[in-house]
Amino acid sequence: MSRLDRRESLTEKMNKAISTAKEERQFQIMEKDIDEALEETTLMHTSSVRVDKKDFSQEVRGSRDIEHFLSAETSEVLLDIPETDSESIVHRLLSQMIDSKNETISESELNSLIFANEAKTIMSESIQAYFTSRDSGSRYDWEQSWLCVSINVPTLKKRRIGIARLKQPVNLGIRAEEVRIFILILCPSEVKGTKNALEAGRTFSTLFSDIQLRHDLLIASTEDEFKESIKKVSENFAKHQSIKTAAELCAKEESFPADEPFKWYHVGRGVLSDLKCRIPFYVDDYLDGIRGKNTIQKTISTTMFLYFSMLLPAVALGVLNSENTHNSIAVREVIVGQTIGGLIFVIFCGQPLVVVMTTAPLAIFIKIIYSISFQMEVDFLPFYAAVGLWNMFFLILYSFLNLSLLMKYCSRSTEEIFGNFITIALITDALKHLASYFSRHYYTCPDSSISPILSSINETLDRPLVTRSVSDSMFECHPEQSFFALILTLGTVALGLTFFNFTKTPYLSAKKRELLSDYALPVAVIIFSIIGSSFTKIDVKVFSYPRDGLTLKLVDFSQLTTGSFFVAMALGFSLSLLFFMDQNISASLVNSPDNKLEKGTSYHWDLLVIGLINGLLCIFGLPFLHAVLPHSPLHVKCLADTEERVESGYVRDIIVRVRETRLTNLFANILIGISMLFLSYVLDYIPSSVLDGLFIYIALTALYGN
């Protein structure tokens, strides 16, 4: 090809490239024009201003605003409206609030003031609460369950207030993704500053920032009940409210106040302080278990939870103690000790939400005491009682020297790590017990290649002539028992967790979902106990309980030597440290600020009570007991009303209030005592695998909120 031809070819390619580039440019311009035609860009000016909560005890206008709302004809309350967007919610409220005879302003004019855009999705002015994390003051989240819109209307004659409770949570945009209560306040412009829209909005926003009020409003069945709840909280705010900083609130709610001086030589000060704090609430501790909406239901369901979660582990630990002490302390002693000790504690303790029972670490310590007594050639029960009395002495000493104040150096992470350790221990024990089924009944099965030979041996020889090892291995081969135990364990866990989380499902009504959630553990245990006992052809392992009675008598200390007395003192001191840690950490988790308890703590007095109880139990040969995890914090959750809150895109349950009552603990221990009358018959129908499932269920539910 000549040079001229190559030049013409390059020129032609260049022209095509230029033409293609022009076409692409024109296409981009056209595409941009289309985008601008489809999406109109508008500027929006937003301004966020922090406003203080209204102090009803200092600002009289707050109470007057509420009185006006409760009595005025211009106020409206709409319950469970089905609307699902801001425009329809506002339209529903305005149609009830605005009287066309007395007001000249139209709904379209009001919409132009209420909404900042034509799509009616952004509010012009609104008030919303936000809360700061106590772990990090720099991080905060918005309270998204309610929204208050307050507007000044120039031509309005009277102030009008409307509150709508939505049938289901509605997404009204950023920072309002699950609104249940919508407040609309319209105020005339020509009013003094204390009556304008912002001040009225502050009044209602202060009320609705109270989590207990929101919970009561969401369960109110009538308009009168709705207004009565608002009136009650308003009056309470007027009498007792005092706006405090976050630091002051944290200091008030700390389990061990940082400003309290640590002086161990103020003997008995902690015990007296606990008594002064708790005695005024003693009668209320019983009444709070029966008064209030849904309280009786919560009391019954929590009692059943405690009954099953305390009784079955007590039986299992009784079997373990029986093996470790050669029946010196067996199942009957554990049940009797639980009944007596539990009843004494719940009647005389300061914090009744703490659950006391014997535990696996205590069973191990009892085994150590038995081993040492055997080596020293002294009777076990007198030596055991001596250890218990020394333990009582040290616990009483700790309580009067205010040593529980040392726990203020124990952070929340330390407490939760300790709780996680208990959770892991429960799961490990259950899995070990489950693995024992397979090691005994599955892996002992003979190999398929030699089974015909063994079968022929049994046919040819007389049974007594067959070697013991062969016959035993054949007899222990029951793989169906292993798999059935696995089914019962996992089934109990799965059914229990399904019912426990049933409140998060759309099935049934809200009350029925809550009812199933409250009775999750008893229902799961009963159902799978029935299933386990129904398969009669499978040999299911159950617990044995002696049918003869139990006679309590004091142990005889006369055979103890001086040397054994001092050895008992050393063991008692070691045991007291275990008691001190378990008792205080369990109580600290119960008294966590997240639980919103109102009656105060009782660390020193409860330590004294638990010491006296164990001193009484040990001299009758009954097992030790102390506060236990995770039963204690789970007891609090069972008695709590909760609210779902969105934090950083994550939905979690927040405790609204807890029924601080003694009745649940009292009834549960009474039922355990009554169970001794029929326990020997009932235990024949409860497979031990169901208990393994119960352990795993308790361990997993304890992780919620950790």
Helix-then-strand count for the chain, H and E: 26, 10
Q: Which of 68-77, 89-98, 387-396 has the lowest mean pLDDT?
A: 68-77
Angle at 40 between CA 34 and CA 42, to 5 degrees: 155
Cβ proximity of 179 and 123 under 8 Å: no
State the average pLDDT over residues 306-333: 83
State the average pLDDT over residues 340-365: 90
The pLDDT assigned to 451 comes to 47
The pLDDT assigned to 312 comes to 79
The pLDDT assigned to 140 comes to 65
Amino acid at site 322: S
Residues 6+ apart with CB under 8 A from 431: 692
Give the CA radius of gyration of the chain: 35
Cα–Cα nearest to 180, from 225, 157, 147, 219: 147
The pLDDT assigned to 317 comes to 81
Distance CA 182, CA 180 (A): 7
The pLDDT assigned to 389 comes to 94
Residues 6+ apart with CB under 8 A from 570: none
Cβ proximity of 126 and 149 under 8 Å: yes
CA distances from 382 to 73, 353, 363, 577, 671 (A): 78, 33, 17, 21, 30
Neighbours of 580 (CB within 10 A): 22
Task: List pLDDT tens digits, range 410-428.
Answer: 666 666 776 677 777 778 7
Distance CA 644, CA 180 (A): 11
Distance CA 371, CA 325 (A): 9
Q: Which residues pair with 91 in a beta bridge?
A: none
**pLDDT band for position 19 (50/70/90)?**
low
The pLDDT assigned to 265 comes to 61
Percentage of the residues of the chain whose pLDDT score is greater than 90: 13
Q: Which residue has the higher pLDDT, 253 or 170?
A: 170
Distance CA 572, CA 393 (A): 9
Cβ proximity of 235 and 66 under 8 Å: no
Cβ proximity of 635 and 302 under 8 Å: yes
**pLDDT band for position 550 (50/70/90)?**
low
- Max alpha carbon distance in the chain (Å)? 128
Q: Which of 85-89, 191-195, 465-469, 551-555 has the lowest mean pLDDT?
A: 465-469
The pLDDT assigned to 661 comes to 92
3-state helix, strand, coil in the chain (%, to 5): 60, 10, 30
Phi, psi of 146 (to 5 degrees): -150, 160
Please write down the HEC assignment for all residues of 628-675. Answer: CCCHHHHHHHHCEEEEEEEECCEEEEEEEEECCCCHHHHHHHHHHHHH
Cβ proximity of 329 and 322 under 8 Å: yes
The pLDDT assigned to 259 comes to 41
Q: Which residue has the higher pLDDT, 346 or 60?
A: 346
Distance CA 156, CA 159 (A): 7
The pLDDT assigned to 523 comes to 83
Q: What is the chain's mean pLDDT, rounded?
A: 79
**pLDDT band for position 18 (50/70/90)?**
low
Helix axes 60-71, 223-240, angle to 10 degrees: 170
Helix (H) or strand (E) holding 338: helix 331-348
Distance CA 635, CA 600 (A): 17
Cβ proximity of 340 and 667 under 8 Å: no
pLDDT at 342 over 90: yes
pLDDT at 40 over 80: no
Going through 97-226 in order, the beta strands assigned E by DSSP cover: 130-132, 140-142, 146-153, 160-170, 179-188
Distance CA 576, CA 625 (A): 12
Amino acid at site 499: F
The pLDDT assigned to 689 comes to 80
Q: Residue written as tokens 């009136």?
A: 231
State the average pLDDT over residues 58-64: 82
Distance CA 630, CA 641 (A): 19
Q: Which of 262-271, 294-303, 583-592 has the lowest mean pLDDT?
A: 262-271
Task: List pLDDT tens digits, range 627-640.
Answer: 988 888 889 988 98
Tell me the two tokens of residue 369.
């005491």
Whether residue 630 has a cis bond before it, omega within 30° of 0: yes
pLDDT at 518 over 80: no
Catalogue all structural domains in the chain, each as residue range(s) with its CATH number: 60-246 (3.40.930.10), 273-701 (no CATH)
